[in-house]
Homo-oligomer: A and B are copies of this chain.
Amino acid sequence: MESYASESEYLNALAARAVLPMGFQCAVRELAFHPRERVGAQPMRMNLSLLLLDRETRDFGGVFTRNLFPGAPVIIGRARLERPTIRGVLANNRISNVCTSRGVDDALGLLERLGGLTGARGDDFFCASTGIIGWELPAREMREALPSLVGGLSVSSILPMARAIMTTDAFPKVRAAAAGKGRIVGVAKGAGMIEPNMATLLCFLCTDVAVPRERLREDLAWCVERTLNRLSIDGDQSTSDTAILLSSGLKGPADPEEFRAALLEVLAGLAFDIVRNAEGIGHAIRVRVERALDEATALGVARAVVNSPLVKTAVFGNDPNVGRIVSAIGDYMGNAGGMLATGRTIVRMGGEEIFSEGCFRLDADKELRLCEYLRGRAMDTKRVPWPQHDRTVDIEITLDGASPGVEILGSDLSYDYVRENADYRS
């Protein structure tokens, strides 16, 4: 089991993972600005991050939100997928650059300037923004900060970028895995507003394993579908979700299966880190649905349970109010018009059977055991800025079909979630 007794212990582990693969550099820089949309405000702070390949690569891919109001970086990024080559990614936090009249032009102008500073084409960069939706980028201030951003490039570690892209994240997230003679290293940000399809989630992955573009893209889509798309914090999919994978190819090819497994490991780790760091989280929740009629039903049931505010608040309170789990299943299936052999549905929490043969299986002793179970899985990322442990509250639902099991990761719903989101922009 993974657990960290202190922040420095966690950061030491991250530092070891965060060594950049061969052929990559990274830099970060902070700037201050006054948002146009708020009168007399204190200046806000923004971090710029740059992930740069030593030379352009043909082997890159990206996956983006399905939200129909995508941010300018998503619009630009989708077009960049058609480009022959890519050189790097420019990212900022604080403002997500969504649906403003100048958003796309501002972003393209910044990339053009970045190209000039790095000896590359502006077209050879992705960009990515996270933060407040609806406000304009401080393009002038960002532009002025670019030379010193480029001047700060270093080949050592991606950890500064993992930090710089954070918004309400309590801790940076880095995962790495080996494949062939090379490595895959990934960073991600995302705390609240996380849903299937990667809401307000930025994820940057780099590798020195050589993987041809088409296979790289297939692997990325396959692994994202099973990791980032299977977590849900609050059911919101943002305007700006982006996952990008770049390969320098400098360590040569690896066995294709080995590469995909390594990428899956990195993305699964990042997905779990994101859930462990959900805004104000008290518990990470893992809902597993076995033997549904089909995969869509399995995922729907799992999401219905993990997104139910009533299930989430009960788990937060260490209250095994398991009736709410069964209600959420029946609610989802009833609204979906689905069939449900209610007499053959089995529900377990922490391995304890709580529902079978159409009836709840509850007694006072089991209630006490479930309370203890929930208490033992509590964490408090508001109190300490690192993930204490990797324990989850496990809910297992077995239905009456033949579809393979699926898992969705989620979080409970706490006071701190409300607090952070009630005035996120202050």
Chain A positions near chain B (C-beta within 8 angstroms): 36-39, 65-70, 96, 98-101, 132-135, 192-193, 195-197, 199, 234-239, 307-310, 313-314, 316-317, 319, 321-324, 326-331, 333-335, 338, 340, 342, 354-355, 358-360, 362-365, 367-368, 413-415, 417-419, 421-426
Cα distance, A321 to B307, chains bound together (Å): 22
Question: Across the interface, do B335 and A66 meet the contact criterion of CB distance under 8 Å?
Answer: yes
A362 contacts across to B, CB distance below 8 A: 37, 134-135
Q: What is the predominant secondary structure among interface residues of chain A facing chain B?
A: loop
| Count of this chain's copies in the oligomeric assembly | 2
Question: Across the interface, do B364 and A331 meet the contact criterion of CB distance under 8 Å?
Answer: no
Query: From A333, which residue of chain B is reached at the shortest CB distance?
Result: B68
Query: From A196, which residue of chain B is reached at the shortest CB distance?
Result: B335
Known contacts being A38-B364, A415-B415, is A133 close to B323, with CB within 8 Å? Answer: yes
Question: Across the interface, do A422 and B342 meet the contact criterion of CB distance under 8 Å?
Answer: no
Query: From A135, which residue of chain B is reached at the shortest CB distance?
Result: B362
Question: Across the interface, do B425 and A368 meet the contact criterion of CB distance under 8 Å?
Answer: no
A310 contacts across to B, CB distance below 8 A: 192-193, 234, 236, 421
Question: Across the interface, do A319 and B134 meet the contact criterion of CB distance under 8 Å?
Answer: no
Known contacts being A37-B367, A323-B133, A335-B237, is A69 close to B359, with CB within 8 Å? Answer: no
Cα distance, A426 to B319, chains bound together (Å): 9
Query: From A335, which residue of chain B is reached at the shortest CB distance?
Result: B66
Most chain B beta-carbon neighbours within 10 Å: one of A100, A236, A368, A422: A422
Most chain B beta-carbon neighbours within 10 Å: one of A39, A314, A321: A321
Cα distance, A195 to B133, chains bound together (Å): 28
**11 A–B contacts from the bound complex (CB under 8 Å):** A36-B364, A66-B335, A68-B334, A69-B329, A133-B326, A134-B354, A236-B310, A309-B417, A317-B422, A319-B424, A417-B418
Question: Across the interface, do B309 and A37 meet the contact criterion of CB distance under 8 Å?
Answer: no
Question: Across the interface, do B421 and A415 meet the contact criterion of CB distance under 8 Å?
Answer: no
The 9 closest A-B pairs by CB, nearest first: A133-B323, A317-B422, A69-B330, A313-B421, A134-B323, A66-B334, A39-B364, A134-B360, A68-B330
Most chain B beta-carbon neighbours within 10 Å: one of A236, A329, A335, A362: A236
Cα distance, A296 to B36, chains bound together (Å): 38
Cα distance, A181 to B365, chains bound together (Å): 58
Query: From A238, which residue of chain B is reached at the shortest CB distance?
Result: B327
Question: Across the interface, do B237 and A319 meet the contact criterion of CB distance under 8 Å?
Answer: no
Question: Across the interface, do B309 and A134 meet the contact criterion of CB distance under 8 Å?
Answer: no
Question: Across the interface, do B418 and A326 meet the contact criterion of CB distance under 8 Å?
Answer: no
Question: Across the interface, do A236 and B367 meet the contact criterion of CB distance under 8 Å?
Answer: no
Cα distance, A135 to B39, chains bound together (Å): 54
A101 contacts across to B, CB distance below 8 A: 359
Query: From A235, which residue of chain B is reached at the shortest CB distance?
Result: B309
A323 contacts across to B, CB distance below 8 A: 96, 98, 132-135, 239
Question: Across the interface, do A37 and B314 meet the contact criterion of CB distance under 8 Å?
Answer: no
Question: Across the interface, do B414 and A365 meet the contact criterion of CB distance under 8 Å?
Answer: no
A133 contacts across to B, CB distance below 8 A: 321, 323-324, 326-327, 360
Chain B: minimal CB distance from A398 (Å)? 15
Known contacts being A199-B331, A319-B424, is A236 close to B358, with CB within 8 Å? Answer: no
The one of B37, B65, B424 that contacts A334, using a Cβ cutoff of 8 Å: B65
Known contacts being A133-B326, A323-B134, is A314 close to B424, with CB within 8 Å? Answer: yes
